[in-house]
Amino acid sequence: MAGMLSASAQTKGGGISEDMLSRIRQSYAATPEQKAVKNALASTSMATLAINSENLAMMDTHFSHRVETKGITDQKSSGRCWLFTGLNVLRAKMITKYDLPSLEFSQNYNSFYDQLEKSNLFLQSIIDTRDLPLDDRKVEWLMKNAIGDGGQFTGVSNLIMKYGVVPKSAMPETFQSNNTSQMANILRLKLREFALELRELKPAKAMERKEEMLAEIYVILVECLGVPPTEFEWARYDKAGNLVSKKTYTPKSFYDEYIGEDLEQNYIMVMNDPSREYNKVYEIEYDRHVYDGENWLYVNLPIERVKELAIASIKDNTAMYFSCDVGKFIDRSKGTLDIYNFDYASLFNTSFPMDKKQRIQTFSSGSSHAMTLIAVDLDEQGNSKKWMVENSWGASSGYQGNLIMTDEWFNEYMFRVVVERKYVPEDILKMLEQKPILLPAWDPMFAPEE
């Protein structure tokens, strides 16, 4: 009866009636507790008020297993975490292998070709879909996501295998590479303008016109980011500062000599997505940076299997590409990720009962940021207690440039880890023989990491 009365009090179209609004207003009774919260929120950050005072102590910073790394990078005001992370994984290997005092690859160099390749991916996709109506969901998605500087590990693998790498000294950052929003706005505007033109052209003419459009994009990129080097000189020193070698390289020869891995074949992406069936292989349409590359495949695994692979890699002193929903329960001052850092439920006298599966299904959580997984702390039984990632927000951010996460936080907000094949058990490698389940570009798991 109460439900019937409540429904009848609403307006005919399901809106809020005067009677309904009157009842809703009664939910705020101006109790001392409610007034105290309202007064506090009027002049104080919500996150500050929600700090859990019972969890103020800093986490133990000891780790039983940690990958050797040197230096913290800074992506500044850009969405290039995926690229910083991938290059940080490779530089850790090169530093260890050649006993270098330090090293940083040029993120700007690979960013340049990332933006050029993404422009081509968009324009060619517009040509491919020109027979679909403008309001078709795929065309609409392409228009909304013309270009950006966020990405995935597929960008790292495709771009490096095609264009190589250079040391940062060969192509340093510019203001625009460190602050990408204005450049992105200009590129999006031009690409959408080009898209409308391409949809009206016949195929042969469209391909010819596309090259002219890419030439215009190239000029904008050069003016913003600089001219990417085709060859450069690099001197290698040992830890003691002694010159070991000095040579002229191309970006490809530099990569081949010092790294030499086939990134497209040697790495496996594993996901923990409880909203979909485990032990299956998934592919997301347009989940690539290069048109003639491959959409990235991932194996969806229970969280325990993901940890198994991550622990094996860390024990062998090998860092990993790692992505998560970094904004959830992050204490930036301490550099910790802990589901008990903040208590919003008590602040608002409510509850937040959704689990990881439900948060994914409702777009409440998803992979938003990539970092380099470098450490795990194991108990006597070999179970993980906490983890640490090397971030790309500068050395003064977090805990010495890193973030430490509890195992509970890892369970809830970790999504992807990219591991070398040699750390993947045979039963998981066998899963890659499955025909991938193709997901649309607007799937929740596609969101670019920034």
The one catalytic residue among 224, 289, 300, 369: 369
CA-to-CA separations, 217 to 79, 140, 199, 347, in angstroms, rounded: 19, 22, 18, 49
pLDDT tens for residues 5-36? 455 555 577 899 999 999 999 999 999 999 99
Concerning whether 108 is annotated as a catalytic residue, the answer is: no
pLDDT tens for residues 397-443? 999 999 999 999 999 999 999 999 999 999 999 999 999 999 998 88
Which pTM was predicted? Answer: 0.93
Concerning whether 289 is annotated as a catalytic residue, the answer is: no
Concerning whether 224 is annotated as a catalytic residue, the answer is: no
The one catalytic residue among 55, 391, 402, 411: 391
pLDDT at 5: 46
pLDDT at 11: 59
Q: What percent of the chain has pLDDT over 70?
A: 98
pLDDT at 2: 47
* Domains of the chain listed by start with CATH number: 65-446 (3.90.70.10)
In three-state form (DSSP H/G/I as H, E/B as E, the rest C), the secondary structure along the chain is: CHHHHHHHHCCCCCCCCHHHHHHHHCCCCCCHHHHHHHHHHCCCCHHHHCECHHHCCCCCCCCCEECCCCCCCECCECCCHHHHHHHHHHHHHHHHHHCCCCCCECHHHHHHHHHHHHHHHHHHHHHHCCCCCCCCHHHHHHHHCCCCCCECHHHHHHHHHHHCCCEHHHCCCCHHHHECHHHHHHHHHHHHHHHHHHCCCCHHHHHHHHHHHHHHHHHHHHHHHCCCCCCEEEEEECCCCCEEEEEEECHHHHHHHHCCCCHHHHEEEEECCCCCCCCEEEEECCCCCCCCCCCCEEEECCHHHHHHHHHHHHHCCCCEEEEECCCCCEECCCCEECCCCECHHHHHCCCCCCCHHHHHHCCCCCCCEEEEEEEEEECCCCCEEEEEEECCECCCCCECCEEEEEHHHHHHHEEEEEEEHHHCCHHHHHHCCCCCEEECCCCHHHCCEC
The one catalytic residue among 81, 108, 289, 341: 81
**Mean pLDDT taken over the chain:** 94
Q: Which of 172, 170, 169, 82 is nearest to 118 (CA)?
A: 82
List, for the chain, all residue ranges whose pLDDT scores fall below the cut of 50: 1-2, 4-5
pLDDT tens for residues 269-278? 999 999 999 9
